[in-house]
Structure 1
Amino acid sequence: MSPGKAAITRVGGKAVGPVGFGMLGLTKPWAPVEYPIAVKVLRTALEQGANLWNGGVHYGTPEANSLHLVKHYFEQYPEDASKVVLSIKGAFGMKTGPDGSPEGIRASVEDALKVLGGTKTIDVFECARVDPKVPVETSIKALAELVKEGKIGGIGLSEVSANTIRKAYAVHPISAVEIELSLFTPDPLHNGVVDTCHELGIPIVAYSPISRGWLTGQLRKLDDLPQNDFRRMLPRFQPEVFDQNFKLVEEVEQIAKRKGVTTAQVAIGWVIRQGAIPIPGSARVERVVENTKAAELTDEELAEIQRILDALPVSGERYGGTQEKFLNA
């Protein structure tokens, strides 16, 4: 596929901006953000046109996760509920893994709705990962029943292969496919996922478009990460590969300097040119403003970036350990 301008502007039948917002940055349990600050961040995201909000039942704790934050926000600003397209991931436990059974999916949706308390509908619900013990067709049929009952607006897929997308699409229309897509993870461009979504007309939602902070320009050395930062456990941030991976950041920085934009804006602009909706997350208002002003990249700049990616492949798996087996399933 040759990159082009983002043409996908609707998710679940509702118009969305070119950039969405990922709520993980506001609800991570290792660095919680106070609700008054989080509300300002969400309000700013919407004001900047980022009306696709993406969260998860497992983003945070059972008592304080994305859904609790969403409820709190819409209690403050009920008039914004109709403006936001809310996509929620669930049917997944950080310790137990995915549960794609009809019972597990229904329980997850019911729990999410209970937390929201009628403040906002779930426009798209995604099983966070594919359950290897349950045929994807079975999971989609269960979600289709929830759509029919009006409990969710549409069905999303997360971290799926091209084959799984086709199987799911054959059962029920798919509102969105969420994948990791960034300069550090261009894999979906080569494994058929992006091509399949474009062929079937399914919106692509790209999480971690700035590569878990790599492409913010704030990480220059491993010691820039706090000792309790979860990224220290990820393969791409290990001491033996950190300096090698940072070379990619330095090359992208040169493009950003020439254009008078930030490295993150180049990274997000690149994702948009692949026909995806990036959902960068942030805990600060100023970062939201920055991230919603993506750089416009020329064809020549895209070609230059491709040469950089070819010359400097990223070292290390995305997650490592048991979580890696649930990717691109």
Structure 2
Amino acid sequence: MQLEILGNPIGPVGFGLMGFTWRPTLTPDDQAFATMKRAIEHGATFFNGGEFYGMPVPTLNLDLINRFFTKYPEYADKVVLSIKGGVDLKIFAPNGSPEFVRESVENIIKHLGTAKKLDLFECARVDRNVPIETTVAALGELVKEGLIGGISLSEVKPETIRRAAAVHKISAVEIEYSLWSTEARDLGVLSTSAELGIPVIAYSPLGRGFLTGQIRSRKDFNEDDYRLHFERYSEENFAVNLQLVDEITKLAQKKGIKPSQLAISWIKKHEDVIPGLHIIPIPGNLALVEPLTDDEFAEIGAILDKIEIKGGRYFKHHENLLWVECSYARLTFA
């Protein structure tokens, strides 16, 4: 059965828009638009962007989306658009207060214009100072008002998912998930989402390019590449983590596919392993799924058991924003 979100059919793989605008050199519209069209035409109809995915102007990602759907209005109803927001850029920290999330949603809609509706809104991280019940209740009011189509969560623990779902229907849970980022499985996020019937959106499914096999040293990055500041790309961790890429590349070659295809297919195979799970990888380029056998999945599992990934996913300040458990609503203690 094909997955639907907000009543719209979703292909097995979605599409991440961050890379077009959240980098020192922006992607020209003609190149970005051609890629976006190709993604839609190949069934990647879940698009993911961000209110703050822009350099040096945070809203460049939203403006790009506006220009695309203005030029190609025939695609607007074919795509489910999810946008991350709810981040106070003055301190680059999440703000889940009702006032701030409304302000964030209104700003996103302002930049999208009339070209594309805001299907899903998600706070990019959890505000540890605001109960998730409070944030979700406020977003539920925005759903009633027709400002957003539904609510998504990001980087949340199972208990937070349950608390949120008790307040309002949750249409998606977005987490980082890949061959070198399996915390969501270990924490129970995948199984909890499957139990509650919530699709999982897997961002950075290719390890920010690392799992493609095209990055062999730190010299392969431009000097201003933000990835150089992440712990997993440090001098002491790079060579160790490259062992995983080498093992995955060997297996991909044996199967006759690219390492990137193997990485995406491994994620999709979880749907066979975890009952009820729907998981949608959102790479920043078109990725085709090549079904894996149970033996191949087990072989990859053995590789992951053997090789320990070194270093955090981000730099240390950002790591503090991952898997945050927010405060409880007052009524919990009544």
| TM-score normalised by length of structure 2 | 0.92
What letter is aligned with 1:9?
L
In structure 1, the partner of 2:275 is: none
Query: Where does 1:205-224 land on structure 2 (aligned, <5 Å)?
Result: 205-224=201-220
* 1:243-296 CA distance string (max 9 Å, x none): 0000000000011101111000000001111231000014xxxxx2xx1x1221
What letter is aligned with 1:82?
D
In structure 2, the partner of 1:86 is: 81
Could you say what secondary structure the match of 2:74 adopts?
A: helix
User: Would you say the 8 A contact 1:58–1:93 is kept in 2?
Assistant: no
In structure 2, the partner of 1:313 is: 308
Aligned: 1:278 with 2:274: no
CA positional deviation for 1:63: 6.2
User: Would you say the 8 A contact 1:39–1:73 is kept in 2?
Assistant: yes
User: Would you say the 8 A contact 1:12–1:176 is kept in 2?
Assistant: no
1:40 to 12, 22, 34: 34
In structure 2, the partner of 1:304 is: 299
Taking the aligned partners of 1:191 and 1:53, their CA distance within structure 2 comes to 26
Could you say what secondary structure the match of 1:297 adopts?
A: coil
Number of equivalenced pairs? 315
Q: What runs of 5+ residues in structure 1 fail to find an aligned partner?
A: 1-6, 283-287
Taking the aligned partners of 2:206 and 2:97, their CA distance within structure 1 comes to 33
1:323 to 318, 323, 334: 318
2:18 to 13, 24, 41: 24
Query: Where does 1:55-204 land on structure 2 (aligned, <5 Å)?
Result: 55-61=49-55, 62=57, 64-94=59-89, 95-204=91-200
* 1:294-316 CA distance string (max 9 Å, x none): 22111000000000000001000
In structure 2, the partner of 1:3 is: none
* 1:53-103 CA distance string (max 9 Å, x none): 000001114465221111100111111100000000001145431110001
Could you say what secondary structure the match of 1:151 adopts?
A: coil
1:268 to 264, 267, 272: 264
Deviates more, 1:54-63 or 1:236-245: 54-63
What letter is aligned with 2:72?
Y
Could you say what secondary structure the match of 2:208 adopts?
A: helix
User: Would you say the 8 A contact 1:57–1:112 is kept in 2?
Assistant: yes
Q: Which has the higher contact order (CA 8 A, sep 6+)?
A: 1
Taking the aligned partners of 1:137 and 1:40, their CA distance within structure 2 comes to 40
Q: What runs of 5+ residues in structure 2 fail to find an aligned partner?
A: 272-278, 325-334
Taking the aligned partners of 1:48 and 1:147, their CA distance within structure 2 comes to 30
User: Would you say the 8 A contact 2:54–2:61 is kept in 1?
Assistant: yes
CA positional deviation for 1:8: 6.8
Taking the aligned partners of 2:65 and 2:139, their CA distance within structure 1 comes to 22
User: Would you say the 8 A contact 1:247–1:312 is kept in 2?
Assistant: yes
Taking the aligned partners of 2:251 and 2:92, their CA distance within structure 1 comes to 43
1:53 to 47, 50, 61: 47
In structure 1, the partner of 2:4 is: 10
In structure 2, the partner of 1:285 is: none
Taking the aligned partners of 1:96 and 1:182, their CA distance within structure 2 comes to 25
TM-aligned CA distance change 1:105 to 1:8, over 3 Å: farther
User: Would you say the 8 A contact 1:53–1:86 is kept in 2?
Assistant: yes
What letter is aligned with 2:105?
V
Taking the aligned partners of 1:190 and 1:159, their CA distance within structure 2 comes to 13
What letter is aligned with 1:281?
G
Could you say what secondary structure the match of 1:316 adopts?
A: coil
Taking the aligned partners of 2:231 and 2:4, their CA distance within structure 1 comes to 35
